[in-house]
Chains A and B, each alone.
Chain A
């Protein structure tokens, strides 16, 4: 087994990737990451994150280390301390919270204009979460409200998800994995 791991390491297949999981409070960041973990490692009760927590999950060829940041207003200034380490960003949006879409856009704009992010070509995956809520916005509408079409120098992708059931997550993570692999080669 150890030999195999090493082999994989040499071949650059199962590489470690640092991912930042960002988004406003109550958007479902911890729930999404919890759902991506193997079923035996998932926790039942999810409480609001204090500061941040580090989680790990694996896909077919990559091993992700996720910085699950707290989205509460008073902890949002912690985000920028981890921008340097991030090789990919997952940005989670509560598609049922129309009122705070402007706040999400504002945070996204400050993130994209930060010197540690601005000139790096890192993939950004958007999860338009809570699609199960009755009056949730569609992913098209969310990308319109966040003006995602203005992001030109970074690969990005938006998918609607229901983090409680785990719907839509796999599609997003597959895209992220492809992006990271193409960036390495």
Chain B
């Protein structure tokens, strides 16, 4: 409970609670705040993912303490608290979506389980499996038939058939024996869940559940009877959604999909009305008033109108981990909280950054609302499983200043212009007086230099001293590396054929050295066919025979067999043999 000023958010938030070992592993979609007992004190309901394969739990926090914990059967995809009836006292139910089911809890007890209707099954597939049940088809034919169905038909196969196809031939018999009597089914799973008020906009009005499924459908469920009220289809699999309005009047469902698009559905049509195509995948989706704020994986935050017109875009300093809306109706404040991977949570109103909250760990879920008896509570869980609770001060104000006023920062950087001394000024004076002579002398020297260079070059070409071959028919490149301390050295020659598509053959390497000082095991080697582009290391072992610590030059020649003039030459300055000193 340190002072709020130290956390770098302008002292607007009070650090109410921080538990780094709470063991909460969850995402924003699985966290909600609800008055579960109807006593005016909100609880935190968390669908804990555990390790991802085990330890899934439904946890309820009251104040700073864990109040209840119950085991979930499957990994939760989403969790929402909603009012399903008009009974008094107004106690909300908690819906946990996992797999193809929604588990509804009332008073923290399992109350109802809704299962999605199963999908249409391919009739051919059904017939095939029926024949298997009667023992008419063996597993090998079954595999062939299923594979032909998979290729031809548009209705996908059931999970069982797909699993069968992935099996080894040896395991097939056992699998068929185990499953052949049961009828096949095809089911989808829920990917996201939201709530939609049925007929009133009241805070405690009855809500419908809105669910998005893996087969690109959106269902609106009746709150009491759990029948499907409305069914909509999307071009891609929904991952996140935001729902506003009332089911009986007018509503809008904004869905972010796995193909990187955002679709906006309305009451009348069962297909999307508007589509927002993003440049990268959405990481978070929040509705603020009539606008949609989308956080993308390319570290940007973008604002759109509800008809899909782009309003603004800002670049963030780090990747987005999660997003949540911050809505304070008593103060008429609406903003977006963005959790970033650099352990910060930014608060934006439109495109203006209002506040930065520094957190001890990367935040994975954010929830803002009424917790306990305090309206402006921000609840965050971290990557390491910690729980952070912050309370907005009653006196906190967010001034809507533009984040970067004035000219850009780069303008005020001073250029590093070197200073000029008296020496320079004297030099310029001399140049002004004797300009003509200077020019003439320089031109003369330049011509001489050119002549000297050309002579040396011709000489080098004539004796093939260069390590890069000049001939067009055999373009070659070579460099040599000496390794070791001595007395034995390893000499590696890297030879490369630099032609576009012409191989070189019939080449040989020959070493020229002082036989009193060095011994080379094989001073004449043949080089394999050189494929263009590849580097061929040719190794030779050189042994220093003198013990006087003398070093000399070894010359390497690359020759064409049958020709006496070398193609390339390399002069290698052998290092002083340190081995002799050791002896």
Identify the closest chain B residue to A77 (Cβ). Answer: B394
Interface size class of B (residues with CB under 8 A): 10 to 19
Chain B residues in 8 Å Cβ range of A26: 373
- Do A25 and B373 touch (CB < 8 A)? yes
- Chain B interface main SS type: strand
Query: Is A7 on the interface with B (CB-CB < 8 A)?
Result: no
| Chain B residues whose CB sits within 8 angstroms of the CB of A103 once the complex forms | 14, 16, 374, 391
CB <8 Å contact, A98 and B63:
yes
Known interface pairs A26-B373, A73-B375, A106-B14. Does A101 touch B391 (Cβ–Cβ under 8 Å)? no
Picked from B15, B330, B374, B393, the residue with its CB within 8 Å of the CB of A100 is: B374
From A145, which residue of chain B is reached at the shortest CB distance? B1
A101-B1 CB under 8 A given contacts A73-B394, A74-B330, A110-B395? yes
Tell me if A97 is interfacial: C-beta within 8 Å of chain B.
Answer: yes
Docked Cα-Cα span, A110 to B371, in Å, equals 23
Q: Kindly state whether residue A102 has any CB partner on chain B within 8 Å.
A: yes
A102 to B14, Cβ gap below 8 A? Answer: yes
CB distance A102 to B395 under 8 Å? Answer: no
Contact in complex: A99, B389 (CB < 8 Å): yes
Is B65's CB under 8 angstroms from A100's CB?
A: no
Interface residues of B in 366-388 (CB under 8 A from A): 371-375
Residues of chain B lying within 8 A (CB to CB) of residue A74: 330
Interface centre among B15, B17, B374 (most CB of A within 10 A): B374
Closest-by-CB residue of B relative to A71 is B373
Per the bound structure, the CA–CA distance linking A58 and B557 in Å amounts to 117
Interface residues of A in 57-82 (CB under 8 A from B): 73-74, 76-77
Q: Which of B1-19 touch A at CB < 8 Å?
A: 1, 14-17
**Which residues of the partner chain B approach A135 to less than 8 Å between Cβ atoms?**
65
Known contacts A26-B373, A73-B394, A135-B65: A99-B17 contact under CB 8 Å: yes
The complex places the Cα of A107 from the Cα of B393 at a distance, in Å, of 9
* A155 to B391 CA separation, bound complex (whole angstroms): 30
Q: Does B449 contact A (CB under 8 A)?
A: no
Instruction: Return the chain A residue nearest B371 by Cβ.
Output: A99
Q: Which residues of B have CB within 8 Å of A76?
A: 394
Asked if B64 is an interface residue, CB under 8 A from chain A, the answer is yes
Nearest residue in A to B61 (C-beta to C-beta)?
A: A99
**What are the interface flags for A80-110 relative to B under an 8 Å C-beta threshold, 1 for contact and 0 otherwise?**
0000000000000000011111110011001
Complex CA distance for A76 and B393, rounded to whole angstroms: 12
A100 & B391 in contact (Cβ 8 Å cutoff): yes
Shortest Cβ distance from residue A47 to the other chain B in the assembled complex, whole angstroms: 12
Name A98's closest neighbour in chain B (CB-CB): B64
Can you spell out 23 A-B residue pairs with CB atoms less than 8 angstroms apart? A73-B374, A73-B394, A77-B394, A97-B373, A98-B63, A99-B16, A99-B63, A99-B371, A99-B374, A100-B373, A100-B391, A101-B1, A101-B16, A102-B1, A102-B16, A102-B391, A103-B14, A103-B16, A106-B14, A106-B393, A106-B394, A135-B65, A145-B1
List B residues at the A interface (Cβ < 8 Å).
Answer: 1, 14-17, 63-65, 330, 371-375, 389, 391, 393-395
